[in-house]
């Protein structure tokens, strides 16, 4: 008969998860507030946005969280198949639901799809949105906020490539290198080289990424390594040449995620704390000038400060309601642009958004994640302590 976890183990687990959710929850609400305030109170919000871009603050908190948790999850699993299946079941079910809802609302006249969706080849639009790489391919998104998922995907590809080369511990120098590279490339490539009309180039890139992922999952040995490294190089190339916001901002985002990884390395004792601090500060120093917007620099600096503050308090108890909002943060993030089109005002928007996020998490996200875990093999020779780590249980990213 399997032993029952002690009360100490059961209570310690939520506490170790709560600080990540304490970051995700406010980040998702900040993005929702940013878009809803521009919709319902643009005059007032213009004064706020001119001082700090609250939406940018929120997404950079998400990027830091992903940087911290994604490599840790991959390394703990030690299995590319489990990682990619986990990512697919984590993101795609809700994404597909949201896109179907967007098309339904558009059919009913309650949501406006971008006209450019109908000007590109349908297979390219579908593949770009389903792989979540549309932002880096010049492909129009079905839902605008999914642009952040393109950078998440590029980060996944790079992380997998480094993992297969056993170079994962180099996150701090990689963050610093990306930040330093961002500045000159920002002047050379202020906009995307992969334009919105380069259908063949975009198609070749997205097909190559899909093939690289499939081969890295299915193959073994040298073939797997080559495919994973190729995927990482493709991810980096897409950020440099395909980023709609330019190479400077795109590489700043990647650098910030690797800076989040450096924080994890320092916590685990594999690198010095000052090395992780240097990585974060270098990314900030190079990134604050990446956008000519007075709200940009305060947003990314305060995002890093907020992450640092919550990280410092990670062993403290956080309110359960805050942790719950963090758990449903992906639903809040993905569905709020659709709700904006049918909500009459700001208070009603949030009164509907939170219950809606709870319902979609419970009936779509959570069952899909459970199904994904059934499809993956358990870690080889995993100990009970390994199975109780937050990285296996947290809805990552």
DSSP string, 312-331: HTTTS---HHHHHHHHTHHH
Mind listing the pLDDT tens digit for each residue in 31-72? Answer: 999 999 999 999 999 999 999 999 999 999 999 999 999 999
Mind listing the pLDDT tens digit for each residue in 169-178? Answer: 999 999 999 9
Nearby residues of 113 by Cβ (< 8 Å), 6 or more positions away: 102, 103, 106, 142
- Provide the token pair at 291: 């956008």
Report the share of the chain in percent with pLDDT over 70: 90
Nearby residues of 239 by Cβ (< 8 Å), 6 or more positions away: 136, 151, 154, 247, 250, 251, 253, 254
123 CB neighbour count, 10 Å cutoff: 11
For residue 382, give Cα distances in angstroms to 23, 72, 76, 120: 29, 15, 9, 47
For residue 28, give Cα distances in angstroms to 31, 36, 74: 5, 12, 24
| CA-based nearest residue to 311, from 286, 276, 275 | 276
Mean pLDDT (whole number) for 311-340: 95
pLDDT at 11: 39
- Please tell me the distance from the alpha carbon of residue 97 to that of residue 238, in angstroms, as a whole number: 26
**Mean of all residue pLDDT scores within the chain:** 90
- Please tell me the distance from the alpha carbon of residue 397 to that of residue 256, in angstroms, as a whole number: 14
The torsion region of residue 109 among left (phi > 0), alpha (psi -120 to 50) and beta comes to: left
Range 45-53 contact pairs with CB under 8 angstroms and sequence separation of 24 or more: 49/295, 50/294, 50/295, 51/294, 51/295, 51/298, 52/295, 52/298, 52/299, 52/302, 53/293, 53/295, 53/296, 53/298, 53/299
On whether the CB atoms of residues 19 and 323 are closer than 8 A, the answer is: no
Task: Flag whether the pTM goes above 0.95.
Answer: no
pLDDT at 119: 86
Biggest CA pair distance of the chain: 64
Nearby residues of 204 by Cβ (< 8 Å), 6 or more positions away: none
Evaluate if residue 10 carries a pLDDT over 70: no
Please tell me what DSSP assigns to residue 388.
T
Angle (nearest 5°) at CA 320 between 316 and 321? 130
pLDDT at 193: 87
Nearby residues of 309 by Cβ (< 8 Å), 6 or more positions away: none
Mind listing the pLDDT tens digit for each residue in 96-119? Answer: 999 999 999 999 999 999 988 888
Mind listing the pLDDT tens digit for each residue in 112-147? Answer: 999 888 888 999 999 999 999 999 999 999 999 999
pLDDT at 301: 98
Evaluate if residue 1 carries a pLDDT over 80: no
pLDDT at 195: 74
pLDDT at 116: 86
Mind listing the pLDDT tens digit for each residue in 371-388? Answer: 998 988 664 444 433 333
Segments of the chain assigned E as strands: none
């Amino acid at each position: 008969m399997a032993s029952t976890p002690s009360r100490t183990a059961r209570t310690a687990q939520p506490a170790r998860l709560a600080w990540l959710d304490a970051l995700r929850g406010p980040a998702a609400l900040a993005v929702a507030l940013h878009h809803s305030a521009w919709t319902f109170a643009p005059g007032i919000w213009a004064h706020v946005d001119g001082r700090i871009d609250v939406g940018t603050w929120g997404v950079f908190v998400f990027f830091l969280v992903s940087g911290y948790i994604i490599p840790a999850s991959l390394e703990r699993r030690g299995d590319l198949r489990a990682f990619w299946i986990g990512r697919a079941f984590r993101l795609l079910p809700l994404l597909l639901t949201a896109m179907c809802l967007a098309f339904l609302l558009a059919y009913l006249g309650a949501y406006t799809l971008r006209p450019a969706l109908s000007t590109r080849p349908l297979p390219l639009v579908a593949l770009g949105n389903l792989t979540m790489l549309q932002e880096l391919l010049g492909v129009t998104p079905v839902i605008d906020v999914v642009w952040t998922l393109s950078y998440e995907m590029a980060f996944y590809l790079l992380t997998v490539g480094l993992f297969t080369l056993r170079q994962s511990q180099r996150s701090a120098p990689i963050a610093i290198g990306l930040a330093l590279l961002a500045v000159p490339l920002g002047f050379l490539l202020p906009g995307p080289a992969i334009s919105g009309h380069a259908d063949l180039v975009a198609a070749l890139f997205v097909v190559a990424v899909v093939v690289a992922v499939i081969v890295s999952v299915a193959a073994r040995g040298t073939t797997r390594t080559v495919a994973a490294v190729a995927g990482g190089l493709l991810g980096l190339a897409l950020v440099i040449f395909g980023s709609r916001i330019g190479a400077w901002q795109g590489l700043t985002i990647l650098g910030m995620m690797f800076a989040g990884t450096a924080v994890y390395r320092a916590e685990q004792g594999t690198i010095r704390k000052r090395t992780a601090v240097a990585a974060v500060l270098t990314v900030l120093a190079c990134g604050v000038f990446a956008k000519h917007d007075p709200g940009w620099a305060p947003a990314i600096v305060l995002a890093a400060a907020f992450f640092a503050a919550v990280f410092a308090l990670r062993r403290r108890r956080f309110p359960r309601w805050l942790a719950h909002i963090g758990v449903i943060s992906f639903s809040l993030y993905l569905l709020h642009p659709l709700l904006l089109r049918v909500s009459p005002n700001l208070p009603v928007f949030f009164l509907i958004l939170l219950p809606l996020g709870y319902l979609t998490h419970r009936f779509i996200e959570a069952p899909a994640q459970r199904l994904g875990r059934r499809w993956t093999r358990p870690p080889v020779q995993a100990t009970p302590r390994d199975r109780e780590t937050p990285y296996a249980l947290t809805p990552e990213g």
